[in-house]
Amino acid sequence: MFNFPFDVTIWGTVSDWVLTIATIVTLYFIYRTFQSQLIVQKSQLDLTQIEIDKYVKEDRPIFILKEYAFYHLESRNEDPNLIIHLKKVGNLQALNLNVRAMPFCDIEILTEDVDCISQDVTVMYFFRKKQSNFKDLKFLSMIFFKDRYDNNYRQVFTLIQEDDQIKGYLSSLSINDKVSHIFNENS
């Protein structure tokens, strides 16, 4: 009456087949779940990178050139004859502010380095040009500073004489961003 054409010892029982099919279906859905998790993880890393880029562009401390002034002082050699006002903008503090003049500029920095600059503060830097001739003025200095996340920043400040006028330029920011390197290594 219940005669099977297949031998149970070779082909197994119906429950063995049901268990095998259920295992295959389960493996398929586990594979799909892992694929979905990989897609979600990749999109989360992309969103994190977008937030890091947003932080670097919007919250970073950056300096703008507020004003600069030259004075032709011949009487005393220790007085400054070049004063630069830098204004810090951005939400983060600028730490370890360090201004360095390039050696070929023949300029001496008279202001000490600043440890910490908070919200929208104007910093005055005093310089003395060793030669009092401002006809061929070329002044190049670097502004180095950090934020609280230990990202290093650099801006280049340039003064040049153009058509009997002295013009000042402050370059865009160069960043050595330690936060984004962490996420780039994990991707």
- Domain ranges, ordered by start, for the chain: 8-57, 61-181
What's the CATH class of domain 61-181? mainly beta
Q: Give the CA distances from residue 107 to residues 3, 6, 159, 170, 171, in Å, rounded to whole numbers and listed in that order.
A: 106, 99, 12, 18, 19
- What's the pLDDT at 103? 61
- What's the pLDDT at 165? 67
The whole-angstrom separation of Cα 71 and Cα 65 is 18
The whole-angstrom separation of Cα 137 and Cα 159 is 7
Q: What is the DSSP letter of 79?
A: S
8 A C-beta contact, residue 111 and residue 125: yes
- Tens of pLDDT along the chain (187 residues) come to 466 576 767 777 888 889 999 999 999 999 999 999 999 999 999 999 998 877 767 767 777 777 666 665 554 555 556 666 677 666 677 777 777 776 656 666 666 666 676 666 666 666 666 655 555 667 777 778 887 777 788 888 777 766 666 677 767 666 665 544 443 443 3
CA 4 to chain centre: 74
What is the chain's length?
A: 187
Q: Helix 178-186 vs helix 14-58: angle between axes, to the nearest 10 degrees?
A: 160
